[in-house]
């Protein structure tokens, strides 16, 4: 308990952006075998996973699209020879 209280009092900044932390949590949930609806349950096994992934993406769509578009722009033929 003291560790949690110390962390709450300190001015520590998480180096991981919030959208990446949410993405990592969603992926960890997706990979768990003992989630709300186990993946093996016929017809409903992946519903909770899909809802969570969709929610994380919709909350952070701008950041995810920016990550997807920037590398493509940098690698485009027009920008390869740019100074």
Whole-Å CA distances, 67 to 13, 32, 55, 57: 22, 26, 18, 13
Q: How confident is the model at residue 1 (pLDDT cuts 50, 70, 90)?
A: very low
Residue 14 sits at the vertex; the CA angle it makes with 1 and 64, to the nearest 5 degrees, is 130
What's the whole-number mean pLDDT along residues 54-63?
89
Share of the chain above pLDDT 70, in %: 65
Q: How confident is the model at residue 72 (pLDDT cuts 50, 70, 90)?
A: low
Q: Which residues contact 49 (CB under 8 A, 6 or more apart)?
A: 29, 30, 35, 39
Is there a domain that residue 5 lies in?
A: no
d(CA 46, CA 43): 8
Least confident of 2-11, 15-24, 49-58, 60-69: 2-11
Is there a domain that residue 10 lies in?
A: no
What's the whole-number mean pLDDT along residues 46-61?
89
Domains contained in the chain, number: 1
What pTM was estimated for this model as a whole? Answer: 0.58
Q: For residue 50, what are the domain limits? A: 17-80
- 43 φ/ψ sector (left φ>0, alpha ψ -120 to 50, else beta): left
What's the whole-number mean pLDDT along residues 38-66?
85
């Amino acid at each position: 308990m003291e560790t949690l209280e110390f962390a709450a009092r300190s001015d520590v900044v998480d180096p991981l952006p919030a959208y990446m932390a949410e993405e990592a949590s969603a992926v960890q949930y997706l990979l768990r075998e003992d989630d709300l609806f186990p993946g093996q349950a016929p017809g409903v096994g992946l519903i909770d996973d899909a809802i969570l992934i969709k929610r994380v993406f919709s909350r952070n769509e701008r950041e995810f699209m920016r990550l997807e578009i920037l590398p493509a722009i940098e690698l485009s033929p027009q920008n390869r020879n740019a100074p």
